[in-house]
Structure formats: structure tokens, C-alpha cells
Amino acid sequence: MINKLIKGFQEIDEPILKFIHKGLRFSTGICLISLLILILHITYPISFTSFYSSLLLFRAGITFAVGFFVCGFVVDNLRKQFS
């Protein structure tokens, strides 16, 4: 099963691979912004709102990363199946 997943990922079309790459870069940017807010909260602990908002942003970034990866993989499989 894992070999099938790795083989499927290696055979993804180029436009879909670019979409996944851009999505992962976007998600990485969101995670880096949230880490910056967390560092600011550690340095200057003003309120817990910054802490909770940065945790929420980090969780959203990770969720976007997984979503872009899974959606790209599924779209590629559907495209190959119906072509």
C-alpha cells in the first residue's frame, strides 16, 4: 500500500505538482508567521490572545498543507482515471 502511494506520487502530472508546491509554500508562510507571533509572545507576553491566535494560525497552516497534498493527489488520480 505504501509502495503504491509512493509510486502514485512519483507519477503526478507537472501542473498538479506545481499546484501542490505553491500550496505547500503558502502553508509554510502561514506557519512561519504564526511562529513569529509565538516568538513575540515569548519575548513580550502582553496577552494570551496572541498566543491563541498564533496556535490557531499554525494549526490552519498545517491543515492547509495536508489539504493541498491530498487534493493534488486525488485530482491527479481522478484525471488519470477519466482520461
Please, what is the angle between helix 2-10 and helix 48-81, to 10°? 80
- Cell readout for 62 is 498545517
Q: What is the pLDDT of residue 19?
A: 94
Q: What is the pLDDT of residue 9?
A: 79
Confidence of residue 67 (pLDDT cuts 50, 70, 90): very high
**Domain boundaries in the chain?**
14-81
pTM for the full predicted model: 0.83
In whole angstroms, what separates CA 42 from the centre of its chain? 25
In whole angstroms, give the CA distance from residue 35 to residue 8: 33
Q: What is the pLDDT of residues 4-55, one digit of tens each?
A: 878 877 888 899 999 999 999 999 999 999 999 999 999 988 888 889 999 9
Q: What is the pLDDT of residue 7?
A: 83
Nearest to 60 by CA among 38, 36, 33: 33
